[in-house]
Structure formats: C-alpha cells, structure tokens
C-alpha cells in the first residue's frame, strides 16, 4: 500500500525509510530552515521509503513526533531530537540516565499504551512505534486511521518480516539480526535530516558490542530468558532479540525451538530443560506479579518446583531491564551485562 502523507497547515509530509539502531553519539545541529523544509540539508526531500508494506513520503523534516514505545523514544532522544518529541508512551523501565534530562521535557501521554484521542491531542505529524500491536485492531489505532488524519506512522523494522508486523499478529520465520536495529536508527536519522548523528550512534553501539564480547573466547552455557509472569512465565524463543543476545555471546537459549519472541510456558518445561543460567527481567513498570527482579528471585526460591533448578540453588542469575531484552538501543546494554555476568559466573573460557 502506498501512502503519501501531507499536512497542508505545516507544509510537511512524513516519510518512512528503513534504518538502524545506535547509541548516543555526536550530533549536528538542525538548521531552522531545514527543519521547516526550506533549507538545504543532507537528506533530499521528498524522502520515500517502504515501511513494513507501506510506502511513506516525507516532504520535509517532521515537526512533531509522538513515540508509542520506550525503545523508539530513546532512539529519538539519542539522536538529540527531543525538541521534536511531543509525546511518549509504553515504558517498562526508567529512561537511560544520559537521556533523563532531555526526557524531562517530553510529555508522557501514558505509562502504557495511550488512547488514540490522546495521541491526536499532541497534534503530531509523525507517530513511531517499536511494536506493531499499537497499529493493530484493538491497539492505539490502525495505520490507515492515522493516514486519514494526515499523520504518518512508522514501525520499527525489527518488528517486521515480509510486510507483516511480528508483534501485530505475525510470526518470525528467520532470526532477528542486529542490522535491523541499525536500520531503524539510520532511517529515523534520515527522516529528521541528521544522518551523521545516526552513524555516530551506530558506530558507538558497534564498538561497545565488540568490547563486550572480546573477553569471551567460548561459551557453551545454556540459558533461559524470563520476561514476566510467575504463573505461566514468558520466555524468549529462538528468533527474537533475546536469542540474539544469547548467540552473540556464544550461549544457547534452551527455548530456541520456539518461534514466538515471547511464549508462555509451564514451569515443568523450564525445569525439564534445566538452563544453567536464568536471565531475569527486572521490569520497573511493576504491573504484574513477577515484573520486578526481587519478586522473580523470591518466587524461584520459594516455589517447590522451581527451587529444584540448579540455577536457582546456585543463584546463577543475570538481571536485565525489560527494555534490554527487546530490540532497541538497550540491546548493547543487555549484551554488556550478559558478558559481564557470564564472566562473573565462570561461564566463559
């Protein structure tokens, strides 16, 4: 589907081009005339890109963007675009410390998913999302509904395969690659006419990833990633971001045979597969039983079944924030923590 989005009152159009993931780096200033579409920036407008089955066109730099997910918000802030972000939502954890000051000026529309009316109230010309559930029926609003009001919608390429959103009802058939993360960064940087900021962020992330894994010569450790829920734990399957963390450090995800990014399983299955290391999500949102790290540890130690796991008896735990288990710039933070955790547990050689 081809969508050309123009808002007459701003003279701006939203274009979505696929790009990459990065961390905070150097940035070039956004010239005022370029930001309003009247200057000569690096990006050539109109900018057109295929974004998960939709062709989007930007005539100029978007003036007002609402981010529906923490991951997307942190990329925008890392690109020094906080003055463009007029709303954020869906937070699992505190913002990265280095982005805290910039984030203070960004209105939080909701801790979780906002309403469609709440998004419209922020008057954006672009809406970004890390997960396609926001654009699915029952989410914030379908992309066609945003189109009708002249608002462009951008979905992270980490959540798309063959034009279908994974989180919006699709299923991965191939493993997620880090290049999809970097693609998101490059795309957003191009859309906002700050490509050198995107490249600096990607370079920093790559250097940090290389440094994190340099200490690991070999790791045959088995692990499981537990995101949330004490009753039927959501564990990471073999094609998503968490499994990418495992394979990057040379470990083996014991649930790598599952196709979904996160699947609800029984504790009997966890005990049967007996991972040597448990990677535990520390979700500061604290919405459900087992979100917090201390709740997970208390449950594992007290439950008659889980307490039989060797990893529980040895407290072979590595704690990650929820955002570090999902595809975002936090991927590298998660990689650093797992590498350090394995070294501390003696899981590398």
Please state whether the peptide bond connecting residue 46 to the residue before it is cis, i.e. omega within 30 degrees of 0: yes
| Cβ pair 219, 304 in contact under 8 A | no
Mean pLDDT within 211-219: 78
Mean pLDDT within 304-325: 96
Q: At 215, is the pLDDT very low, low, confident or very high (cuts 50, 70, 90)?
A: confident
Model pTM score? 0.86
Mean pLDDT within 109-121: 96
Say whether domain 215-345 belongs to CATH 3.40.50.1980. yes
Q: What is the pLDDT of residues 177-194, one digit of tens each?
A: 999 999 999 999 999 999
Q: Please determine, for residue 138, whether its predicted confidence score (pLDDT) is greater than 60.
A: yes
Q: What is the pLDDT of residues 34-93, one digit of tens each?
A: 443 333 369 999 999 889 999 999 999 999 999 999 999 999 999 999 999 999 999 999
Q: Which long-range contacts (CB under 8 A, 24 or more apart) does 240-245 make?
A: 240/172, 240/176, 240/327, 241/158, 241/176, 241/325, 241/326, 241/327, 241/331, 242/279, 242/325, 243/175, 243/176, 244/175, 244/176, 244/177, 244/178, 244/331, 245/279, 245/325, 245/331, 245/334, 245/335, 245/338
Strand-pair partners of 129:
155
**What does the domain layout of the chain look like in residue ranges?**
2-208, 215-345
Q: At 218, is the pLDDT very low, low, confident or very high (cuts 50, 70, 90)?
A: low
Domain 2-208, CATH homologous superfamily name and number: Nitrogenase molybdenum iron protein domain (3.40.50.1980)
Q: Please determine, for residue 348, whether its predicted confidence score (pLDDT) is greater than 80.
A: no
Predicted confidence at residue 345, as pLDDT, reads 87
Predicted confidence at residue 8, as pLDDT, reads 32
Q: Do domains 2-208 and 215-345 have the same CATH topology?
A: yes
Q: What is the pLDDT of residues 2-29, one digit of tens each?
A: 444 444 333 333 333 333 333 333 334 4
């Amino acid at each position: 589907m081809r969508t050309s989005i123009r808002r007459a009152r701003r003279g701006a159009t939203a274009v979505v081009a696929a790009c990459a993931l990065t961390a905070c780096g150097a940035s070039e200033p956004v010239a005022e005339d370029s930001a309003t579409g009247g200057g000569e920036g690096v990006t050539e407008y109109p900018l057109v890109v295929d974004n998960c089955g939709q062709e989007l066109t930007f005539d100029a730099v978007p003036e007002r963007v609402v981010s529906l997910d923490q991951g997307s918000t942190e990329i925008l802030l890392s690109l020094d675009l906080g003055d463009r972000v007029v709303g954020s939502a869906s937070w699992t954890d505190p913002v990265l410390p280095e982005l805290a000051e910039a984030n203070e000026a960004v209105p939080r529309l909701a801790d979780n998913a906002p309403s469609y009316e709440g998004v419209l109230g922020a008057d954006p010309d672009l809406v970004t999302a890390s997960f396609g559930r926001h654009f699915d029926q029952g989410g914030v609003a379908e992309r066609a509904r945003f189109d009708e009001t002249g608002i462009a919608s951008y979905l992270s390429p980490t959540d798309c395969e063959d034009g279908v959103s994974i989180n919006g009802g699709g299923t991965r058939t191939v493993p997620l690659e880090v290049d999809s993360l970097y693609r998101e960064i490059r795309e957003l940087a191009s859309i906002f006419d700050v490509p050198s900021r995107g490249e600096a962020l990607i370079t920093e992330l790559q250097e940090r990833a290389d440094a994190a894994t340099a200490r690991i010569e070999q790791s045959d450790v088995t692990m499981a990633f537990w995101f949330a829920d004490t009753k039927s734990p959501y564990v990471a399957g073999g094609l998503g971001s968490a499994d990418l963390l495992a394979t990057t450090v040379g470990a083996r995800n014991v649930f790598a045979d599952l196709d979904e990014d996160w699947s609800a399983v029984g504790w009997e299955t966890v005990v049967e597969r007996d991972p040597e290391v448990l990677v535990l999500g520390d979700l500061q949102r604290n919405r459900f039983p087992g979100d917090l790290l201390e709740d997970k540890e208390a449950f594992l130690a007290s439950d008659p079944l889980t307490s039989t796991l060797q990893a529980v008896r040895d407290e072979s735990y590595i704690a990650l924030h929820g955002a570090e288990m999902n595809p975002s710039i936090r991927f590298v933070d998660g990689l650093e923590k797992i590498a350090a955790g394995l070294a501390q547990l003696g899981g590398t050689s």
